C-alpha cells in the first residue's frame, strides 16, 4: 500500500498515565519518609533532601554549605572516606550529592536486595559524617583547585559573574562553591557547626522509589535515621539588599572564538501564582528546540550551537536567564536579537495561536515521559517536598497548562520581565566585540576582572 | 535478565526490532544507520556528523523542519554520530507512533529534494559553532584531536574526530551531501527498534507500511583497517588552562572482542570512583593530582584505553606519569584482588539493570537492541553481554592489563598552561592541534 504523504498523520489519543501516589510518614525526629512503589525493575532510588543550600551560607562564609555537602561522603565513625566508598562499590551503588541555592541532596540508587545496606551507608553520611580535620583540609584543597580550573571555563565564569551582577550581596549572589578567599578561611569547626545547624531531620525528606513498600522502608529509615537529631525547624533567613546592576558587562577572554552570553534579570519565586503561564511562555521564547530564540540565533542565523532561556524558580525570587555561546563575530548581533525577542513576547509580538498550541502540547502530551524511571519519580517528588507543592500537583499540571492563553502569556511576561532592567554579560574577546557592543545603546560597557567574583 | 523482542527483516533489508513494555504510555523509535566518521576519508572529515544535522531540516513531504510536528505531539527527540554509527530517536506518546514513523521514513526515503544550499550553509555554521563551543573554546577541548591523530596513522578511519577538521567542513559541497546520502542512508544499512507501549504485530505492520516502499540501496563493504604502535609517542601542546593534564592511551581490543570486558573492569578498578587505586594514591594519599579517570573506549574495529589525570598545583606531569605507570605495573604483575573482581561483577549487574529502566533515548532499551543488532547481528545479546563481565577472572584481567597496558607502546599527551612547557612529561615534542 502506497503511503499517503500529502499530510502528516494526526496523533491518536494516548491513555493517560496514573501518576504515582506517594505514601508518607514522619519519624519522631521530624524526618519525613516518602515512598513510591515502582517495581518495573528490581532497584530502589533513594533521594535525601535537606532544605538548606548555598543561600544558607553565613555572611562572609560563601561556599560553606557546598563544602559541607562535599564532606558527607568522607567517612563516618571509624570508617575512612575510602572505606565508605568501598562499601558503596560492593553494592554497585550509584551515589551523588548535589547542592543548589535552597537544597542539599544526597542520592543513592541500588539493586533492591541491597536497599537496607545502602540506606545504612546513606544515614552514616548524612547524619553522622566524621568531618575530620585532615579530611577537611584535603577536600578544601581540592575545592580550591576546582575553583582555579573554573577560571578557564567560559560558562563557569559567566555563571558566577552573572549571579553576582544580578544579586550582589543577596544570598543568591554567589555560586555554591564560594570564592578563593572564603574557602581558604573555612575551618573544620565551621563545617561541623554548619552540619549541626543545617543538616537536620526536621528540614529533611527521605524519598524512596522503586521495588519497595512503605512499611518496610519506614522501618528501615527508623533504624538508619532514628538517632539523628538536630534543632527544630526554623525559617531560612530572608533575602538581602539588592542594588541595581550595570546593564552591559564584559569579562575579557582574549582571542576567544566564541562569546559566552548571559542576559537576564531577577524574576520570580517558585510560589508565584503565574507559574504555569510563565512555563508556557518560556517554552515558546527559549525553552525548546523550536523556540523563538533558538530558531532565530541558530536555525536562521547560524550564530550558535544552541540558545535557550529559563526561569530558575526558587524559594525566593530566582533569575530569568538567556544563555548561549555565540561566535565572536556575531556577538553584538546575538545580543541585539536576544533582547528584541525578550521584549517582543511581552506584547509587541504576542504568541500566535500556533505557537501557543505547540508550546502547550510539548509540555502536556509528553508529560508521562517524566515518570518512567525511579530516579525521575524521585526527582519529581523532591519538587513537592522542596517547594511545598500539593499532593495533586502532577494531576493538575496538564489541565492547568492547557488553560493558558496568549493574553496570559503577554501579561505575565510583562509583569516579570522588563527590557529596561535586563543585565547583559559577555565573556569574550573584548577588543573584538567591545566597539560593536558599545553601539547597541545599552549604556556604557563595563569591563570586569575575571577575579572579581 | 534480558530484553524480549521480535525481529523481522523487511524485503528491502531493513531490520525491525520490537520490544513491548506497557508500563508507561510512550514508545521509543530508534533508528540506526551503520555509518559514522570512520566512513569518511582524509580531507572530507566531519561529514557524517554534519549530515546528521541536515536530517533535522525537513524532507520532501514535510519541508518545515523536523522538530515542530513531533514536539507538538509531545515527543522528545535527538540524534548522535560517533565513529561507527549514527542514530536518531524519538520518544512519543503511544498515539503518535505513526507520526514518528511517517517522519523517519520520509527523511530516509525522500531527504534530498528538500535539501537546499541555504539549509546546508546554515547547518555548517551551526556545526562550526558546535566545534568552537565543545572543543576550541573549552579547556583541554582539543585533546581528542591530538590523541586520535597520534594513535592512528593519517589514512586510518579513526585518525580524526567525529566533529571533523575546520578546513574540511569549510570545503565540503552540496554534491557531497547527495552522494553520501545515496550511499549510506537506505534500509539495507539501517536498523529500527521500537520499544514501549505497542502491540508488536500492529507496530510491525506500520513499519512495513512506511518503510517497505523505500529502495534497498547498494550493499556497503565494511571498513577495515588496523593500527599498532611500534613504541612510544610523546607529545604536548599549550592551552589556556591553569593546571597541566596528562593523558595516557593504548591500543586495546574492539567492542565485544576478547579482553574488552577485562579492560573495562581494569580501567574501573584503576580510576573509577574514590575506591579506585589511582584515586586513592594520586588524589587521596599523595595529593599529586586533583582528579583522575580511566576508560576502555571500545569501538567496532579496535579500541583504546585512556587514563587521564590533572596535576595539583606544584606538581609536574612527570610525577603523575611515574605514579600511574607504577600502579599499572602492579596490576599487571599481581592482578586484581578478589574484592575488586567481586565489585566489578556487582557493578556490571547493577549497570545493566539500570539500563532496563527506560525504553528510549541514548542508551535505553531500544538503543541497546540496535547496538547489538548492528554490531553483532544479534539483538538477543543482552544477557551474554552481561555474562562477559561475570566470567572475568583474576587471571584474565591480569593478562589483559599486562598485554595491552604496555608502558613501551603508548601515546602520552601533556596539555600544559601557556608558557609552562617544563611541566610536560619529559621528552615530549610539540603537537599542532586546531
Q: Do B353 and A111 touch (CB under 8 A)?
A: yes
* B21 domain residue, yes or no: yes
pLDDT at residue A244 is higher than 90: no
**Are B173 and B264 members of one domain?**
no
pLDDT, mean of residues B400-416: 98
Residue of A nearest to B22 (CA): A40
CA distance A231 to chain B (A): 32
b vs e for B393-428, b when ≥16 Cβ sit within 10 Å of the residue's Cβ?
Answer: eeebbbebbeebbebeebbbbbbbeeeeeebbbeeb
pLDDT, mean of residues B175-180: 92
Residue of A nearest to B138 (CA): A153
Give pLDDT, residue B2.
84
Question: Which of B129, B280, B343 has the CB atom closest to A258's CB atom?
Answer: B129
Q: How many CA atoms lie within 13 A of A119 on its CB side?
A: 26
pLDDT, mean of residues B52-60: 97
In chain B, how long is the greatest CA-to-CA distance? 66
**Are B150 and B279 members of one domain?**
no
Question: Which of B21, B69, B121 has the CB atom closest to A8's CB atom?
Answer: B69
CA distance A237 to chain B (A): 35
pTM above 0.90, yes or no: yes
End-to-end CA distance of chain A: 65
* B226 domain residue, yes or no: no
The 10s digit of each residue's pLDDT in B181-214 is 999 999 999 999 999 999 999 999 999 999 999 9
**Are B15 and B73 members of one domain?**
yes
CA distance A112 to chain B (A): 10
CA distance A114 to chain B (A): 11
Question: Which of A13, A89, A327 has the CB atom closest to B343's CB atom?
Answer: A89
**Are B198 and B308 members of one domain?**
no
pLDDT at residue A20 is higher than 90: no
Question: Which of A302, A361, A366 has the CB atom closest to B122's CB atom?
Answer: A302
**Are B236 and B345 members of one domain?**
yes
Q: Can you give the C-alpha Rg of chain A in angstroms? A: 24
Q: Do B347 and A300 touch (CB under 8 A)?
A: no
The 10s digit of each residue's pLDDT in A113-165 is 999 999 999 999 999 999 999 999 999 999 999 999 999 999 999 999 999 99
Residue A420 main-chain phi, psi, to 5 deg: -70, -20
CA distance A124 to chain B (A): 17
Q: Do A289 and B71 touch (CB under 8 A)?
A: yes
**Are B293 and B390 members of one domain?**
yes
Best mutation site among A1, A5, A83, A356 for testing chain B: the one with the most B CBs within 10 Å? Answer: A5
pLDDT, mean of residues B220-249: 96
Residues B18, B22, B23, B26: is their CA dihedral positive or negative? Answer: positive
Question: Which of A86, A94, A111 has the CB atom closest to B275's CB atom?
Answer: A86
- Strands in B83-242 per DSSP E: 86-93, 190-196, 232-239
Q: Can you give the C-alpha Rg of chain B in angstroms? A: 23
Cβ-Cβ contacts under 8 Å, B21 against chain A: 40
Q: Do A9 and B102 touch (CB under 8 A)?
A: yes
The ipTM estimated for the assembled molecules is: 0.94
* B217 domain residue, yes or no: no
Q: Do A374 and B61 touch (CB under 8 A)?
A: no
The enclosing domain of B54 has a CATH number of: 3.30.830.10
Q: Do A358 and B72 touch (CB under 8 A)?
A: yes
Cβ-Cβ contacts under 8 Å, A256 against chain B: 137
* B363 domain residue, yes or no: yes
**Are B331 and B377 members of one domain?**
yes
Residue of A nearest to B312 (CA): A145
pLDDT at residue A238 is higher than 70: no
**Are B154 and B296 members of one domain?**
no
CA distance A239 to chain B (A): 35
For the sheet with A258-266, list strands across it. A304-311, A319-327, A258-266, A423-428, A248-252, A445-447
Architecture of domain A23-225: 2-Layer Sandwich (3.30)
Range of the domain at B372: 232-430
Rounded to whole angstroms, what are the CA distances from B115 to A310, B112, B122, B177? 32, 5, 12, 9
Q: Do A111 and B347 touch (CB under 8 A)?
A: no
Best mutation site among A74, A180, A305, A394 for testing chain B: the one with the most B CBs within 10 Å? Answer: A305
Q: Which of A122, A126, A125, A130 is nearest to A220 (CA)?
A: A122
Give pLDDT, residue B1.
72
**Are B204 and B324 members of one domain?**
no
Q: Do B132 and A257 touch (CB under 8 A)?
A: yes
Q: Do B99 and A8 touch (CB under 8 A)?
A: yes
The DSSP code sequence of B139-176 is TTTTHHHHHHHHHS-TTSTTSS-TT--HHHHHH--HHH
Give pLDDT, residue B121.
96
- The domain segmentation of chain A, as residue ranges, is 23-225, 248-447
Question: Which of B132, B290, B347 has the CB atom closest to A145's CB atom?
Answer: B290
Cβ-Cβ contacts under 8 Å, B347 against chain A: 89, 92
Residue of B nearest to A359 (CA): B72
The 10s digit of each residue's pLDDT in A171-195 is 999 999 999 999 999 999 999 999 9
Cβ-Cβ contacts under 8 Å, B93 against chain A: 11, 14, 365-366, 368
Q: Do B132 and A6 touch (CB under 8 A)?
A: no
Fold match between A23-225 and A248-447?
Answer: yes
Q: In whole angstroms, what is the distance from residue B155 CA to residue B87 CA? A: 25
pLDDT at residue A36 is higher than 90: yes
Give pLDDT, residue A347.
87
Contact B214, B186 (CB under 8 A): yes
Residue of B nearest to A295 (CA): B65
* B181 domain residue, yes or no: yes
The DSSP code sequence of A203-217 is GEEEEEEES--HHHH
Q: Do B284 and A81 touch (CB under 8 A)?
A: yes
Contact B246, B410 (CB under 8 A): no
Give pLDDT, residue A288.
95
Give pLDDT, residue A1.
58
Q: How many domains does chain B have?
A: 2
**Are B41 and B178 members of one domain?**
yes
End-to-end CA distance of chain B: 46
Q: In whole angstroms, what is the distance from residue A343 CA to residue A292 CA? A: 12
- Rounded to the nearest angstrom, the gap between the alpha carbon of residue B385 and the centroid of all alpha carbons in its chain is 17
Which residues, other chains included, contact A193 with Cβ-Cβ below 8 Å and sequence gap of 6+? Answer: none
Q: Do B274 and A73 touch (CB under 8 A)?
A: yes
Give pLDDT, residue A246.
74
Q: Do A91 and B346 touch (CB under 8 A)?
A: yes
**With respect to CATH, is domain A248-447 assigned 3.30.830.10?**
yes
Give pLDDT, residue A451.
78
* B1 domain residue, yes or no: no
Give pLDDT, residue A235.
58
Cβ-Cβ contacts under 8 Å, A298 against chain B: 126
* B192 domain residue, yes or no: yes
* B218 domain residue, yes or no: no
Q: H helices then E strands: how many in chain B?
A: 15, 12
pLDDT confidence bin for A13, thresholds 50/70/90? confident
The 10s digit of each residue's pLDDT in A277-315 is 999 999 999 999 999 999 999 999 999 999 999 999 999
Q: Do A11 and B73 touch (CB under 8 A)?
A: yes
The 10s digit of each residue's pLDDT in B237-270 is 999 999 999 999 999 999 999 999 999 999 999 9
pLDDT at residue A2 is higher than 90: no
Q: Which of A331, A285, A340 is nearest to A304 (CA)?
A: A331
Question: Which of A142, A258, A368 has the CB atom closest to B133's CB atom?
Answer: A258
Q: In whole angstroms, what is the distance from residue B293 CA to residue B278 CA? A: 8
Best mutation site among B71, B79, B360 for testing chain A: the one with the most A CBs within 10 Å? Answer: B71
Residue A105 main-chain phi, psi, to 5 deg: -130, 130
**Are B163 and B73 members of one domain?**
yes
pLDDT, mean of residues A236-243: 65
Give pLDDT, residue A243.
66
Q: Which of B167, B121, B162, B127 is nearest to B145 (CA)?
A: B162
**Are B36 and B95 members of one domain?**
yes
Cβ-Cβ contacts under 8 Å, A373 against chain B: 357-358
Cβ-Cβ contacts under 8 Å, B130 against chain A: 305
Please provide the average confidence, as pLDDT, over all residues in chain A: 95
Amino acid at each position: 500500500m502506497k503511503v499517503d504523504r500529502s499530510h502528516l498523520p494526526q496523533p491518536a489519543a494516548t491513555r493517560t498515565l496514573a501518576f504515582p501516589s506517594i505514601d508518607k510518614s514522619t519519624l519522631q525526629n521530624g524526618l519525613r519518609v516518602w515512598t513510591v512503589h515502582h517495581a518495573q525493575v528490581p532497584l530502589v532510588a533513594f533521594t535525601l533532601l535537606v532544605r538548606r543550600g548555598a543561600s544558607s551560607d553565613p555572611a562572609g562564609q560563601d561556599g560553606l554549605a557546598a563544602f559541607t555537602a562535599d564532606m558527607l561522603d568522607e567517612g563516618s565513625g571509624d570508617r575512612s572516606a575510602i572505606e565508605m566508598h568501598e562499601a558503596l562499590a560492593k553494592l554497585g551503588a550509584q551515589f551523588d550529592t548535589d547542592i543548589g541555592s535552597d537544597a542539599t541532596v544526597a542520592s543513592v540508587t541500588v539493586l533492591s536486595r541491597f536497599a537496607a545496606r545502602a540506606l545504612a551507608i546513606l544515614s552514616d553520611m548524612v547524619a553522622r559524617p566524621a568531618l575530620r580535620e585532615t579530611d577537611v583540609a584535603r577536600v578544601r584543597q581540592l575545592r580550591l583547585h576546582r575553583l582555579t580550573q573554573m577560571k578557564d571555563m567560559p560558562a563557569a565564569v559567566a555563571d558566577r559573574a552573572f549571579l553576582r551582577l544580578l544579586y550582589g550581596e543577596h544570598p543568591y549572589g554567589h555560586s555554591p562553591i564560594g570564592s578563593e578567599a572564603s574557602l581558604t578561611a573555612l575551618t573544620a569547626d565551621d563545617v561541623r557547626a554548619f552540619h549541626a545547624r543545617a543538616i537536620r531531620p526536621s528540614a529533611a525528606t527521605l524519598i524512596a522509589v522503586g521495588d519497595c513498600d512503605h512499611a518496610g522502608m519506614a522501618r528501615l529509615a527508623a533504624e538508619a535515621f532514628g538517632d539523628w537529631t538536630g534543632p527544630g525547624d526554623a525559617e531560612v533567613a530572608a533575602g538581602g539588599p539588592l542594588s541595581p546592576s550595570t546593564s552591559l558587562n564584559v569579562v575579557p577572554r582574549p582571542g576567544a572564538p566564541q562569546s559566552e552570553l548571559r542576559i537576564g534579570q531577577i524574576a520570580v519565586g517558585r510560589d508565584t501564582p503565574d507559574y504555569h503561564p510563565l512555563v508556557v511562555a518560556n517554552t515558546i521564547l527559549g525553552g525548546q528546540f523550536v523556540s523563538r530564540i533558538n530558531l532565530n540565533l541558530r536555525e536562521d542565523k547560524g550564530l550558535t550551537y544552541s540558545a535557550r532561556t529559563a526561569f530558575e524558580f526558587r524559594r525566593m525570587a530566582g533569575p530569568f536567564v538567556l544563555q548561549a555561546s555565540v561566535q565572536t563575530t556575531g556577538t553584538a548581533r546575538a545580543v541585539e536579537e536576544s533582547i528584541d525577542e525578550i521584549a517582543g513576547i511581552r506584547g509587541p509580538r504576542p504568541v500566535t495561536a500556533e505557537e501557543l498550541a505547540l508550546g502547550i502540547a510539548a509540555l502536556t502530551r509528553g508529560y508521562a515521559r517524566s515518570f518512567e524511571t525511579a530516579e525521575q519519580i524521585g526527582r519529581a517528588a523532591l519538587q513537592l517536598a522542596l517547594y511545598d507543592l500539593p499532593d495533586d500537583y502532577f494531576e493538575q499540571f496538564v489541565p492547568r497548562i492547557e488553560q493558558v492563553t496568549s493574553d496570559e502569556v503577554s501579561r505575565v511576561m510583562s509583569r516579570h520581565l522588563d527590557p529596561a532592567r535586563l543585565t547583559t554579560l559577555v565573556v569574550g574577546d573584548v577588543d573584538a566585540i567591545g566597539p560593536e557592543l558599545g553601539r547597541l545603546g545599552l549604556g556604557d560597557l563595563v569591563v570586569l576582572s575575571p577575579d572579581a567574583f | 535478565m534480558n530484553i524480549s523482542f521480535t525481529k523481522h527483516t523487511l524485503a528491502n533489508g531493513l531490520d525491525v526490532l520490537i520490544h513491548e513494555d506497557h508500563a508507561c504510555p510512550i514508545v521509543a523509535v530508534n533508528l540506526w544507520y551503520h555509518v559514522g566518521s570512520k566512513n569518511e576519508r582524509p580531507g572530507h572529515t566531519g561529514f557524517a556528523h554534519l549530515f546528521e544535522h541536515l536530517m533535522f531540516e525537513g524532507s520532501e513531504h514535510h519541508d518545515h523542519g523536523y522538530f515542530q510536528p513531533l514536539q507538538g505531539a509531545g515527543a522528545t527527540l535527538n540524534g548522535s554520530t560517533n565513529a561507527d554509527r549514527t542514530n536518531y530517536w524519538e520518544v512519543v506518546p503511544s498515539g503518535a507512533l505513526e507520526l514518528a514513523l511517517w517522519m523517519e521514513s520520509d527523511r530516509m526515503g525522500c531527504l534530498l529534494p528538500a535539501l537546499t544550499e541555504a539549509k546546508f550553509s546554515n547547518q555548517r555554521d551551526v556545526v562550526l559553532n558546535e566545534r568552537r563551543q565543545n572543543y576550541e573554546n573549552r579547556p583541554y577541548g582539543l585533546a581528542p584531536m591530538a590523541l586520535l591523530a597520534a594513535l592512528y596513522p593519517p589514512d586510518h578511519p579513526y585518525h580524526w574526530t567525529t566533529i571533523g577538521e575546520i578546513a574540511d567542513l569549510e570545503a565540503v559541497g552540496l554534491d557531497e551531501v547527495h552522494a553520501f546520502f545515496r550511499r549510506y542512508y537506505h534500509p539495507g544499512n539501517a536498523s529500527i527498534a521500537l520499544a514501549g507501549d505497542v502491540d508488536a504485530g500492529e507496530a510491525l505492520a506500520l513499519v512495513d507500511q512506511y518503510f517497505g516502499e523505500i529502495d534497498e540501496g547498494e550493499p556497503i563493504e565494511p571498513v577495515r583497517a588496523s593500527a599498532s604502535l611500534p613504541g612510544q609517542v610523546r607529545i604536548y601542546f599549550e592551552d589556556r588552562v591553569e593546571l597541566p593534564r596528562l593523558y595516557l592511551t593504548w591500543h586495546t581490543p574492539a567492542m565485544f572482542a576478547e579482553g574488552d570486558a577485562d579492560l573495562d573492569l581494569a580501567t574501573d578498578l584503576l580510576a573509577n570512583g574514590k575506591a579506585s587505586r589511582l584515586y586513592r594514591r594520586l588524589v587521596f594519599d599523595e595529593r599529586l593530582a586533583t582528579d583522575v579517570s580511566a576508560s576502555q573506549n571500545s569501538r567496532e574495529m579496535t579500541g583504546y584505553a585512556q587514563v587521564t589525570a590533572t596535576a595539583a598545583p606544584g606538581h609536574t606531569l612527570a610525577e603523575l606519569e611515574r605514579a600511574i605507570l607504577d600502579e599499572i605495573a602492579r596490576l599487571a604483575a599481581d592482578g586484581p584482588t578478589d574484592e575488586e573482581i567481586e565489585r566489578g561483577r556487582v557493578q556490571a549487574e547493577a549497570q545493566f539493570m539500570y539500563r532496563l529502566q527506560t525504553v528510549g533515548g541514548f542508551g535505553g532499551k531500544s538503543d541497546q537492541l540496535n547496538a547489538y543488532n548492528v554490531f553483532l547481528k544479534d539483538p538477543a545479546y543482552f544477557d551474554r553481554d552481561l555474562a562477559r563481565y561475570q566470567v572475568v577472572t583474576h587471571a584474565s584481567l591480569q593478562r589483559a592489563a599486562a598485554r595491552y597496558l604496555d608502558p613501551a607502546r603508548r601515546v602520552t599527551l601533556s596539555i600544559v598552561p601557556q608558557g609552562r612547557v617544563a611541566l610536560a612529561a619529559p621528552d615530549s615534542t610539540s603537537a599542532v592541534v586546531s
